[in-house]
Amino acid sequence: MRMQEVAPGGYRKVLELNTYVQANVNPTLLELIKLRASMVNGCAFCVDMHSADALKAGETSRRRLALSAWTESPFFTEEERAALALTDAVTRISEGGVPDQVWDAARAIWSEKEVADIVMAAIMINAFNRIAISTRRLPEGA
């Protein structure tokens, strides 16, 4: 199923959220958020797409691969680590919500609005992951 064809109104709303986060989240950070959430969710379509997008945007192969083990990797900044922890918590929301320490680390770095935008980015990619996984979308060329 191609959700954008079957339910174009709903799909457009998710695209609107994507447009919002693109305008409000640092592009490098946004690519990390999209790729990490897609890895956590096991969305092959989105991992493939966002890995390629990150590479085109100048992200290194080393960091893209290290993203799967970001907590143990030395390749991410304090800001990126806080965003990745928040992304993981939002993506795994059923496992106890967003822990205070994750929230506090993010708020120590960013304003309330910036944290809200990172949360919105995680929500957006999780929505796209769920669309791709539930409709069995495969990577291009598969």
Q: What pLDDT digit, counting tens, does each position of 1-21 carry?
A: 899 999 999 999 999 999 999
Q: What is the pTM of this model?
A: 0.95
CB 29 within 8 A of CB 80: yes
pLDDT band at 138 (very low <50, low <70, confident <90, very high): confident
Say what the pLDDT of residue 22 is: 98
Burial group, residue 100, by CB count within 10 angstroms (0-12, 13-18, 19+): exposed
User: 139 — alpha (psi -120 to 50), left (phi > 0) or beta?
Assistant: beta
